[in-house]
A = this chain, B = another copy of it.
Amino acid sequence: MPLDDLQARLRTGLPDDALITDTDVMASYAHDMASFCAAGTPAAVVLPRTVEQVQHVMRTATELRVPVVPQGARTGLSGAANATDGCIVVSLTKMDRILDISPVDRIAVVEPGVINAVLSRAVAEQGLYYPPDPSSWEMCTIGGNIGTASGGLCCVKYGVTAEYVLGLDVVLADGRLLRTGRRTAKGVAGYDLTRLFVGSEGSLGIVVQAVLALKPTPPVQLALAAEFPSASAACEAVCAIMERGYAPSLLELMDRTTLRAVNAMAHMGLPETTEALLLAAFDTPDPAADLAALGAVCTEFGATEVVPADDAAESELLLKARRLSLTALEAVKTATMIDDVCVPRSQLAAMIDGTAAIAEKYDLVIGVCAHAGDGNTHPVVCFDAADPDESRRARESFDEIMALGLELGGTITGEHGVGILKKDWLARELGPVGMELQRSVKAAFDPLGLLNPGKLF
Contacts and interface: CB of A to CB of B under 8 A. Distances in A.
A411 B343 CA distance: 37
A105 B191 contact: no
Interface string A232-275: 00000001001111110000000000000000000000000000
Nearest to A342: B184
A205 B376 CA distance: 30
Interface string A187-217: 1111111011011100010000000000011
Nearest to A411: B187
A11 interface: no
A193 B441 contact: yes
A38 B278 CA distance: 59
A339 interface: no
A191 B186 contact: no
Interface string A161-196: 011000000001000111110111111111111011
A10 B15 CA distance: 64
Interface in A87-137: 102-107, 127
A243 to B, nearest CB: 5
Contacts of A105: 344-346, 375
A190 B414 contact: no
Contact of A189 (B200, B375, B412): B412
Contacts of A413: 187-189
Interface stretch (A148-156, A292-300, A306-314, A321-329): A148-156
B179 A346 contact: no
Contact of A431 (B103, B179, B431, B433): B179
A374 B437 contact: no
Interface string A270-304: 00000000000000011000000000000000000
Contacts of A184: 342-344, 374-376, 409-411, 414
Contact of A187 (B243, B342, B434): B342
A345 B104 contact: yes
A434 B187 CA distance: 15
Choose among A127, A163, A345 the residue with the greatest number of B CB atoms under 10 Å from its CB. Answer: A345
A180 B344 contact: no
B414 A188 contact: yes
B245 A216 contact: yes
A444 interface: yes
Interface string A139-159: 000000000110100011000
Nearest to A373: B185
A199 B180 CA distance: 15
A413 B104 CA distance: 21
B189 A433 contact: no
Contacts of A162: 192
B189 A418 contact: yes
B183 A433 contact: no
A357 interface: no
Given A186-B151, A186-B415, A172 B376 contact: no
A443 interface: yes
Given A105-B375, A160-B186, 8 more contacts: A102-B344, A104-B242, A106-B242, A148-B188, A183-B409, A185-B373, A216-B244, A441-B444
6 contacts: A103-B243, A176-B433, A184-B375, A188-B415, A189-B411, A216-B246
